[in-house]
Structure 1
Amino acid sequence: MVLLLATSLAASEAAARRVGLLFGSFNPVHVGHLILAEYFATRTDLAEVWLVVSPHNPFKQADDLLPATQRLQLVQLAIAGNPRLRAEDAEFSLPRPSYTSTTLDALRQRHPDLEFVLLMGADNLADLPRWREAVRLVAETDIYVYPRPGTALPDLSALPRVRVVAAPLLDISATFIRESLRAGHSIRYLVPDAVALHIQQNGYWMS
């Protein structure tokens, strides 16, 4: 019994050291992001999920981005009170544009007691060969992949560290939310109330 208990505790401690990283511009953060983060934090072996705010995604234009600190604040408002979710600004002090391999190196150096798992959509997995240091990334890191509407999964036989997780399919985009704001339409239920209020108070994307 003592041995079984010790084994159980050791397994629990190992699981507690696994943290999922959900990268994004979060421009703005919306309920799709939050549902995914909560799903991974509560229905997998991850102890927490960190929403990593990217100052500049190398595959996206930067001209429509709210400043990074303001997007981080929106994420903090969105997840307030949830101990298993965290807004992470690790990329703010790193060279730009932001590369996942660089960010992972920095986080591993800062948190040697944690094991990081990448969380990404099927569309990002398909683009993975284009990422900087993609070969090292897939060799060193577990990757949990969630479905994306209209995107088929590539052949995973050469990617033993990739695990497909049946998270909910949500076809919500930050682009749609920004366009709605510019058109004067409601974004209720697309973002948390605290995020909607902060956006309205500051006039983000309304002109």
Structure 2
Amino acid sequence: MNKKIGLYFGTFNPIHIGHLVIANHMVEFSDLDEVWFVVTPQSPFKTKKTLLDNHHRYQLVVEATQDYPKLKPSKIEFDLPQPNYTVTTLAYLQEKYDVDHDFCLIMGEDNLKGLHKWKNYEVILENHTIYVYPRISEGKVEHRFKDHGNIHHVTAPIMEISSTFIRAQHKLGKNVRPLLPESVWKYMDEMNFYR
């Protein structure tokens, strides 16, 4: 039987407990066998000063997932040509892992609203299942995605924690430790990140 892998894409700058809660919920309360945190590399065309180096963000995900055997860090996109598109990553993974893995996408409801703007989104929808978790956001999901057979809505907790908020508050000297896995906090503090 094929292993069902949920791909959770993000910059994870830094990964926080909200990401872990969503990923763990997906793997425990859906038919996914594992969730891979796919760390998005820094675009060579966008140099965001607040974005940590690829290696450090990946290491933070390693730290965060070490006690969760069904949650895995992935730097698969680091080796793909940039700018990269999800459809390319999916094709690459399908080729690399052959037929014994089914790759699915995990996304917030807010991302589903913009799915029609993704490169070759029809190909993604035709060949992959998308697991959608609720987000508080404006606007409506496009009608064509409402009752699509490959889109599954999972009733996960609504997490209103953001990496942007964590970075900004940490820089101001606020205590953001409860919002991060302990190992992530330690690494971040030792390396003096986001100060």
Whether these two folds match at TM > 0.5 is: yes
Whole-Å separation in 2 of the counterparts to 1:142 and 1:29: 24
Partner of 1:67: 53
Pair 1:154 & 2:142 matched: yes
Give the RMSD, CA atoms, in angstroms: 1.7
The higher radius of gyration belongs to 1
Partner of 2:90: 104
Partner of 1:10: none
Where 1:189 maps in the other structure, the secondary structure is helix
TM-score, with length taken from structure 2: 0.92
Pair 1:174 & 2:163 matched: yes
Structure 1 pair 42–115 and aligned structure 2 pair: CA distance change class (3 A): same
Partner of 1:121: 108
Structure 1 pair 158–41 and aligned structure 2 pair: CA distance change class (3 A): closer
Letter in 2 for 1:138: L
Q: Is the 8 A contact 1:25 1:57 kept in 2?
A: no
Pair 1:192 & 2:181 matched: yes
Superposed CA deviations along residues 103-162 of structure 1, whole A, max 9, x for unmatched, are 111111111110011000011111111111111111111101011013444333463211
Whole-Å separation in 2 of the counterparts to 1:76 and 1:51: 9
Return the offset for 1:97: 2.3
Q: Is the 8 A contact 1:99 1:132 kept in 2?
A: yes
Return the offset for 1:57: 6.5
Whole-Å separation in 1 of the counterparts to 2:110 and 2:146: 17
Q: Is the 8 A contact 1:54 1:98 kept in 2?
A: no
> Which sections of structure 2, spanning at least 5 residues, go unmatched?
none
Please identify, of 147-156 and 65-74, the stretch whose mean Cα deviation from structure 2 is larger: 147-156
TM-score, with length taken from structure 1: 0.87
Pair 1:83 & 2:69 matched: yes
Letter in 2 for 1:54: T
Partner of 2:25: 39
Partner of 2:152: 163
Letter in 2 for 1:22: Y
Partner of 1:24: 10
Percent of paired sites with the same residue: 38
Letter in 1 for 2:121: A
Q: Is the 8 A contact 2:42 2:53 kept in 1?
A: no
Q: Is the 8 A contact 1:30 1:174 kept in 2?
A: yes
Return the offset for 1:61: 6.5
